[in-house]
Structure 1
């Protein structure tokens, strides 16, 4: 029987990708940037634990004092999301895990709940669920996946694209009800916008 949270949603672990070089941000430590009183990485980890309090959170990136998590590195560091997932996935213990970017300032526990709810009653059929934006584009770093399915796909995959890895799993697509949910911080303008929106707000309540 699948692990569940509150009797209705599958419990999950999380792999958070935080090892990028932030080139469009001038090479700064992007996950360590502060928005709304917390670093971007702290916000994402808090969202996971708000949704699933006993989740195991694995951060693929440089070790930090906060948030509390298991820290691992891809080989070589900065080599991209597929090597990062290879580094993080062995530490997932639950049947389902959230795969998330570290720079999602507007992500809430409510967004994870919407993804988890899309799995309800069809957990035995689906390999995963992923948010799609207003243009119908899959947000591969905002989804929940069946651990065994991704492990099997990763074992046979030699490419470098998350789309190439995860697309063939035919995940359920969950349209955004909040266009901010998959907004990520790639540029200084993105950071300024997130700070305008969120400074003074915890952003993790769902």
Structure 2
């Protein structure tokens, strides 16, 4: 049986958004809602959710969720955000033993994202699970067991790993395929991407 109540969601909002002029991508409005609002709606079935962000954490206060910074300095990337979320889960005494990581620059994620990742992970008896669409893997959209956090900490601090693939290659990995239009993992990296997403919601 696939039980979503064991899966918490970590929204990774810690990027520096250099290509967006320093603007917070999760707070960009597209079709009348912020990207984070859309992701919150898509993950509404999850009881435990946390935002990973850096800088002034108060900008996310209105969402009423825990907001935690990277535990490592110097912007080491999404793996550091995932580690912070896993550490938070381990200390929160909740029943969740898995983390669904979501990059907060993708306004079209599917509401069955966690279910299908968990289904793939269970079917293959894998340690990790990752999303794929149109033949392209999306490493930042994945399932991570809380039990892996010490391995991740070692990889970041002692081995200097920064790329998600370099870490996940060390473990068994299940892949869940997604399709749709627009692509559920289409992200907003540049101003032109905002216009394209707006055009979809206006159509």
TM-score of the aligned structures, taking structure 1 as reference length? 0.80
Contact kept? 1:100, 1:143, Cα under 8 Å: yes
Q: Which residue of 2 aligns with 1:70?
A: 66
Q: Which residue of 2 aligns with 1:86?
A: 83
Contact kept? 2:8, 2:100, Cα under 8 Å: yes
Q: Unmatched 5+ residue regions in structure 2?
A: none
Correspondence 1:45 to 2:40: yes
**Structure 1, residues 96-118: CA drift from partner, whole Å, max 9, x if none?**
11011011100121233322332
Q: Which residue of 2 aligns with 1:21?
A: 16
Range moving further from structure 2, 75-84 or 86-95: 75-84
Pick from 3, 12, 20 the counterpart of residue 9 of structure 1. Answer: 3
User: How far apart, in 2, do the equivalents of 1:119 and 1:82 lie?
Assistant: 20
Pick from 144, 153, 156 the counterpart of residue 155 of structure 1. Answer: 153
Q: Which residue of 1 aligns with 2:140?
A: 141
Contact kept? 1:60, 1:87, Cα under 8 Å: no
| Compared CA separation, residues 17 and 59, structure 1 to 2 (3 A) | same
- Segments of 4+ in structure 1 off by > 4 A? none
| Compared CA separation, residues 16 and 198, structure 1 to 2 (3 A) | same
What secondary structure, in the 3-state scheme, does the structure 2 residue paired with 1:16 have? strand
Contact kept? 1:18, 1:41, Cα under 8 Å: no
State the number of aligned residues: 188
Q: Which residue of 2 aligns with 1:33?
A: 28
What secondary structure, in the 3-state scheme, does the structure 1 residue paired with 2:63 have? coil
More helix by share: 2
Structure 1 residue 120, shift from structure 2 partner = 4.3
Aligned alpha-carbon RMSD (Å):
2.3
What secondary structure, in the 3-state scheme, does the structure 1 residue paired with 2:61 have? coil
Structure 1 residue 121, shift from structure 2 partner = 5.3
Q: Unmatched 5+ residue regions in structure 1?
A: 1-6, 201-206
User: How far apart, in 2, do the equivalents of 1:164 and 1:38 lie?
Assistant: 34
Structure 1 residue 138, shift from structure 2 partner = 1.9
Structure 1 residue 77, shift from structure 2 partner = 5.9
User: How far apart, in 1, do the equivalents of 2:146 and 2:132 lie?
Assistant: 21
User: How far apart, in 2, do the equivalents of 1:80 and 1:111 lie?
Assistant: 22
